[in-house]
Amino acid sequence: MSHHTPPSPVKKGKELILDITTAAFEGKGLGKVGEYAVFVKNTAPGDKVRVRIIRKRKNYAEGVLLELLDPSPVRITPKCRHAGTCGGCTWQHIPYEMELAYKSEHVKDHFQRIGGFRDISTEPVIGAPEPFYYRNKMEYTFGDRRWLTDEEVQSGREIADRDFALGLHVPGRYDRILNLEECHLQDPVSFRILDAVREYALANNIPPYNTHRHEGFLRNLIIRNAEHTGDLMVNLVTSGENDEIMQPFSRWLLERFPEITTVIHTINDTRSPSSEGRYQKVLYGPGYIREYLGPYHFRIDPNTFFQTNTHQAKALYDVVLGALDKVPVLYDLYCGVGTLSVYLSGMATRVVGLEVHAGAVGKARENAAENGVAHAVFEQGDMKDIFNDELVRRHGRPDVIVTDPPRAGMHESVIRQIINILPEKIIYVSCNSSTQARDVALLSEHYRLERIQPVDMFPRTYHIESVAVLSRIDT
Catalytic positions? 431
Q: Are strands 173-179 and 218-225 parallel, antiparallel or unpaired?
A: unpaired
Please name which of 214, 177, 367, 179 lies closest in space to residue 291, comparing C-alpha atoms.
Answer: 367
Q: Distance of CA 204 to CAs 197, 201, 219, Å?
A: 11, 5, 16
Cβ contacts of 49 within 8 Å, gap of 6 or more: 17, 18, 20, 29, 31, 40, 43, 65, 66, 67, 68, 69
The secondary structure of 290-335, three-state, reads EEEECCEEEEECCCCCCCCCHHHHHHHHHHHHHCCCCEEEEEEECC
d(CA 470, CA 475): 15
Buried b (16+ CB within 10 A) or exposed e, 300-322: bbbbbebbbbbbbbbbbbebbbe
The rounded radius of gyration (Å) of the Cα atoms in the chain is 24
Contact 115, 473 (CB under 8 A): no
d(CA 346, CA 208): 49
Q: Work out the angle between the directed axes of helices 96-113 and 433-443 (0-180°, nearest 10).
A: 40
SS3 call for 52: strand
d(CA 352, CA 428): 16
Q: Are strands 289-293 and 279-284 parallel, antiparallel or unpaired?
A: unpaired
Count other C-beta atoms under 10 Å from residue 86's C-beta: 18
Torsion of CA 108, 405, 462, 464, to 10 degrees: 50
Q: Compute CA 228 distance to the chain's CA centroid, rounded to the nearest angstrom.
A: 21
Give me the sign of the Cα torsion angle 7, 13, 14, 20. Answer: positive
Q: Distance of CA 424 to CAs 65, 327, 336, 467, Å?
A: 50, 10, 23, 17
CA angle 403, 408, 409 (to 5 degrees): 30
Cβ contacts of 428 within 8 Å, gap of 6 or more: 403, 404, 436, 439, 440, 467, 468, 469, 470
